[in-house]
Structure 1
């Protein structure tokens, strides 16, 4: 009886990585996760909230950015972890709020749910894609962690 109840859930619940692969619009993100060696992390139990830049978001970066990041695993891993928040955060959880949320990179992002949802300067264009080990929010801009060299323009 119990297996019959669990079967449909197990069949459709893919983890964050498999969900991103299946979506087909995260080829750059998936390649970056593989290059940075983060596949095992994002397939682990979690739960994680991932702000996932789609391929169009990566395409907006200056030419050569993605290629240079793919060669610099440490920097790439930091940038990718900057898109991951421990725990399962859904759009409804942040609606009407403005928060600073600590990412897996140890750096905070600003999450603003007052008009739609924005993460730093990125818009969430598709919220709440469920995965077995977390939730994915599609964003239209790659989040770049603040560097000491750049001064905040707010």
Structure 2
């Protein structure tokens, strides 16, 4: 009886030791991979969980992921008006420099309404924010990227402080979606006329 008691205690003890080791071994694998962690001061304003969170956005293509993020509702409205949802959702390894709602609020309402109601200008503006390659923090310090609109975006900075075209700050960068990297910016970028 005593031997069985000790054997049971030993197995219980071993099981207790193996369970945490098994959890430890599995936990890093769930976070493994080439996905960079989001960076920047506005990342704290993303939802902590759910589809609009950084982790939740990773499960959907970019236009769908953006539609779940409360910081990007104006951009999503513009993308829908321009008819670019499928273009963005079907793109592969693209980067979207995504103006936040606050970025759109910097544009006078009359001017924004004019852009939103001109599909050609709106498409030109939105595709200027999309690069046909994956751009992450490693490429941002001194980058130059051709946009889907045909123009060029430049990036500069260091650490976790970066500018796009010397005018827009990346406020939350390297947010991954199923098919894209999203760099949230604080200013709408204007293509050359």
Shared fold (TM-score greater than 0.5)?
yes
Report which of the two structures shows the higher radius of gyration computed on alpha carbons: 2
Counterpart Cα distance in 1 of 2:112 and 2:105: 9
More deviation in 16-25 or 110-119?
A: 110-119
Matches within 5 A, 1:97-112: 97-112=141-156
Rounded Cα–Cα distance in structure 1 between residues aligned with 2:158 and 2:172: 16
SS of residue in 2 equivalent to 1:105: coil
Bigger Cα displacement from structure 2, 76-85 vs 61-70:
61-70
**The residue matched to 2:68 in structure 1 has which SS?**
helix
The yes-or-no answer on 1:118 pairing with 2:163 is yes
- Do the aligned residues in 1 keep the contact of 2:125 with 2:191 (CA within 8 Å)? yes
RMSD: 1.8
Q: How far apart, in 1, do the equivalents of 2:58 and 2:170 lie? A: 24
- Which residue of structure 2 aligns with residue 57 of structure 1? 103
TM-score if structure 1 supplies the norm length? 0.82
Residues 1:46 and 2:117 are matched in the alignment:
no
- Counterpart residue number, 2:181: 135
Residue 137 of structure 2 corresponds to which residue in structure 1?
91
Work out the CA distance in 1 between the residues paired with 2:149 and 2:81: 17
After the TM superposition, which segments of 4 or more aligned residues of structure 1 sit over 4 Å from their partners? Answer: none
Segments of structure 1 that go 5 or more residues without pairing to the other structure are: 1-10, 148-154
Deviation at 1:27, TM superposition (A): 1.1
Secondary structure of the structure 2 residue equivalent to 1:117: strand
- Structure 2 gap segments, 5+ residues each: 1-56
User: TM-score, structure 2 length as denominator?
Assistant: 0.66
1:29 to 75, 99, 112: 75
